[in-house]
Amino acid sequence: MAQKHSIKFFAGRNSRYLAEKIANSFGIELGKSSVTEFSDGEFQPSFDESVRGCTVFIIQSTFPPTDNLFELFLMVDAAHRASAHKVVAVMPYFGWARQDRKDKPRVSIGAKLVANLLSASGVDRIMTMDLHADQIQGFFDVPVDHLYASSIFVPYIKSLNLEDLAVAAPDMGGAKRAHAYSRFLDASMIICHKQREKANVVGHMTAIGDVKGKNVIIFDDMIDTAGTIAMAADMMMSMGAKSVRAVVTHPVLSGPAYERIANSALTEVCVTDTIPLRTDVDTSKIKVLTVADHFADVIDKVYNYKSISSTFIQ
């Protein structure tokens, strides 16, 4: 069996809330690190304990601002320069994932650039959840552990004991994900077709499938401005749905998102804690499930050279 090295967990500043839960679930304390900030906005992370010869897991979601991503680069680089054996970037939310291809002329492929920068920083492995596009795994030349939130969401949905259940995709791109959930939940499927006027603005939407008399659950990997999901919920209620819920992995929730959710026909929005919610707004319709135990379990399997395929239900 391959030799195991000591394991240590560290966190970026804005993901500490989740890293502490993952470390607690794993059964160890979070490592000590600090960040020196300069007056011009530059910053320098440092480890306040030895990582020599250790397998280091750095937990940091890369939600805005960009500082979170660059802090991760610096921490990976610092760990290697401090003679860590391996450095694993645990990125519950992988930012820039919507930029996975050239969808119009003269634009960047941001997800590929992030992958290149992570590789340049010296990362040995990536661990993330519900990528916006599966092919992003192929942007890396190091192993990528792509976890699915379905193992968290499916038990919760079953506990609701909803009758006449229907699963909906908010757009054609989410049809594969919705189909997988429809199989797990033995539910019928609905697909929303939307036409965008521009980024984050939906012009027109229609639904394909039987909506009347159904308890509908809309599945997506992220919720940004909540425009699409709020419009879909209002549309389906007008078509005779009993209720509409949304189950979304990453609560980006920018701009008017919180207000839109509060004022929409949605009964509930179920999300994970890959990104923290704001505390100064109405979140009464939002249910948060933690991913900490799931990440701790996969980290344990990776560290002990065990198969992780048994943790996937999608």
Q: Is 212 a catalytic residue?
A: no
CA distances to 14, 89, 149, 186, 250 from 294, rounded to whole Å, are: 20, 16, 9, 24, 15
- Single out the catalytic residue among 112, 194, 285, 301: 194
Angle at 158 between CA 157 and CA 159, to 5 degrees: 90
275/269 Cα distance (integer angstroms): 14
- 205 with 179: CB under 8 angstroms? no
DSSP string computed for 200-220: TEEEEEEEES--TT-EEEEEE
| Residues 6 or more apart whose Cβ sits within 8 Å of residue 309 | none
CA distances to 21, 149, 162, 236, 282 from 210, rounded to whole Å, are: 41, 26, 16, 10, 32
DSSP string computed for 31-83: PPEEEEE-TTS-EEEEESS--TT-EEEEE----SSTHHHHHHHHHHHHHHHTT
Gyration radius of the chain's alpha carbons: 20
148/85 Cα distance (integer angstroms): 27
Active site residues: 194
